[in-house]
């Protein structure tokens, strides 16, 4: 067959041509694998659920290790997110695993805002990644991606229905993260109750429009298993790091007076299903979905909020420069407006203060005048009194001198004169 016969149009002007011999680009997948292995992988899990539902135990059981951490108390004033990162190695593959756990979730009387710290945490990780992407010199290959890839939502094994806290929280998170709901401590519920509980949870999630993560069925190699596993959601799990001898094998299990529950026995719980789906089959899809769906949504909203668009109103390609200029002008305009408002406010305040001070000064002057007048009156009164007292003293002194004079004359003139003296005394006012 001639080469021209084989060549055909693919897409726009793209032709398929035959190769005369081996070129070597069929090793591209191997190159990719080698590169990824040498770079290592990262995976971030968020465990949301009430304190004591077995979040830490399940993580230890899933990764076959004992992660450090103090058990949480029920006395937290609010919900906090505790994040720990660990370096794990299996064969020659390195995994940087981050486990984020909600501390104090469901422990408050008012649970209205319990979802907020979780939403803020997820957004903060998206924001950090976006900031790195927008940098002029970005180092995304060395950047520790902390975006949450999977959210394990722990449901209490009540056997009834979902709590409103669970529904509200899942609803708030479903557009930001891949939610995998799990029934925690499922050894606390009987098999028949569990079947009914799973159906009830699924119907409540559907009726409330909560989007949970669906294992992908578009890849042929995993379509069947993923399809089957989707029907098993929410997984009912049991956690335990205790190893017990069952038969002649050591197995992870929980022992009770009436028997033993084996964690990895599929007849006892869905732990193996969860591990298969989360780690062995869909870890890469979870990472992919986080980047292409949830982060993309965050990024789009954020950039639109900042005024960026793909095309301008005339459907012309959008100019970054123009957007920047427009935003800058808008910002400067607002800044000027604010500055003017503040200036006006300042002038107004100064005027008010000036008037207040003037009023106070006037009052002080009036008070001073009043006091001055009072003081003058008082002084005048005292001066008058002093003058009248001085007059009285002078008059007294005069009378005294006259009396003394009379007395001395009297003693000289003898007793005959007494009558005359008495008369004169009377005239002087002594008798």
When the beta carbons of 188 and 406 are compared against ligand GDP, the nearer one is 188
CB of 82 to ligand GDP, least distance (A): 10
For the bound state, the minimum distance from the C-beta of residue 254 to ligand GDP, rounded and expressed in Å, comes to: 6
**Is the backbone peptide bond immediately before 139 cis, with ω within 30 degrees of 0?**
no
State the nearest-atom distance from the C-beta of 47 to ligand GDP, in Å.
7
Q: Which is nearer to ligand GDP, 132 or 187 (CB)?
A: 187
Q: In whole angstroms, what is the distance from residue 322 CA to residue 288 CA? A: 33
How many binding residues for ligand GDP (CB under 6 A)?
16
Shortest separation between residue 140's beta carbon and ligand GDP, angstroms: 33
Please identify which residue in the block is written with the tokens 């990262």.
Answer: 42
Does residue 49 contact residue 157 with C-beta atoms inside 8 Å?
Answer: no
Chain residues 176-205 in contact with ligand GDP, contact rule CB under 6 A: 185, 187-188
Helices (H), 7-100: 28-39, 55-62
Sign of the Cα pseudo-torsion (127, 130, 134, 136, in order):
positive
Q: Is 169 in the site for ligand GDP (CB under 6 A)?
A: no
CB of 240: closest distance to ligand GDP in angstroms? 6
Residue of this chain nearest to ligand GDP (CB atom): 54
**Cβ-Cβ contacts under 8 Å for 117 (sequence gap 6 or more):** 78, 79, 80, 81, 102
Give min distance, CB of 243 to ligand GDP, in A.
Answer: 14
Q: Are 60 and 67 in contact (CB under 8 A)?
A: yes
Residue 223's nearest CA partner among 148, 287, 285 is 285
Half-sphere exposure of 329 (CA within 13 A, CB side): 5
Tokens of 90: 């299996």
Contact status: 246 vs ligand GDP (CB under 6 A): no
- Is residue 125 at the binding interface for ligand GDP, with CB under 6 A as the rule? no
- Report the site for ligand GDP in 30-89 (rule: CB under 6 A): 49, 51-57, 71-72
Which one among 238, 253, 277, 278 touches ligand GDP, defined by CB under 6 A?
A: 238
Which chain residues interact with ligand GDP by CB under 6 A?
49, 51-57, 71-72, 185, 187-188, 238-239, 254
């Amino acid at each position: 067959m001639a080469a021209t016969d084989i060549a055909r149009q693919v897409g726009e002007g793209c032709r398929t041509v035959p190769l005369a011999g081996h070129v070597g680009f069929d090793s591209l997948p191997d190159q990719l694998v080698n590169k990824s292995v040498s770079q290592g992988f990262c995976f971030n899990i968020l465990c949301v659920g009430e304190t004591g539902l077995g979040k830490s135990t399940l993580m230890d059981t899933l990764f076959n290790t004992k992660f450090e951490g103090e058990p949480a108390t029920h006395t937290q004033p609010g919900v906090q997110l505790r994040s720990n990162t660990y370096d794990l190695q299996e064969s020659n593959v390195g995994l940087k695993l981050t486990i984020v756990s909600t501390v104090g979730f469901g422990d408050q009387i008012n649970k209205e805002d319990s979802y907020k710290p979780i939403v803020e945490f997820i957004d903060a990780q998206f924001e950090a990644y976006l900031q790195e992407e927008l940098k002029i010199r970005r180092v995304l290959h060395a950047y520790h991606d902390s975006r949450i890839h999977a959210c394990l939502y722990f449901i209490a094994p009540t056997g009834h229905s979902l709590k409103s806290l669970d529904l509200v929280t899942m609803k708030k998170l479903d557009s930001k993260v891949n939610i995998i709901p799990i029934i925690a401590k499922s050894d606390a519920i009987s098999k028949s109750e569990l079947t009914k509980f799973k159906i009830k949870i699924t119907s409540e999630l559907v009726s409330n429009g909560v989007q949970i993560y669906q294992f992908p069925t578009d890849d042929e190699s995993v379509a069947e298993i993923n399809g089957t596993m989707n029907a098993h959601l929410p997984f009912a799990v049991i956690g335990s790091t205790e190893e017990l001898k069952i038969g002649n094998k050591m197995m992870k299990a929980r022992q009770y007076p009436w028997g033993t529950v084996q964690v990895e026995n599929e007849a006892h719980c869905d732990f193996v299903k969860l591990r298969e789906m989360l780690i062995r089959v869909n870890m890469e899809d979870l990472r992919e979905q986080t980047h292409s769906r949830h982060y993309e949504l965050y990024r789009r909203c954020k950039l639109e909020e900042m005024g960026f668009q793909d095309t301008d109103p005339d459907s012309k390609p959008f100019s970054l420069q123009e957007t920047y200029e427009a935003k800058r002008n808008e910002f400067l305009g607002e800044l000027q407006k604010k500055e003017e408002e503040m200036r006006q406010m300042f002038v107004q305040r100064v005027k008010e203060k000036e008037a207040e001070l003037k009023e106070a000064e006037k009052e002080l002057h009036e008070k001073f005048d009043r006091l001055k007048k009072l003081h003058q009156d008082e002084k005048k009164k005292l001066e008058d009194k002093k003058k009248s007292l001085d007059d009285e003293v002078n008059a007294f002194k005069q009378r005294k001198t006259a009396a003394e004079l009379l007395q001395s004359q009297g003693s000289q003139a003898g007793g005959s004169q007494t009558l005359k003296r008495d008369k004169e005394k009377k005239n002087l006012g002594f008798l």
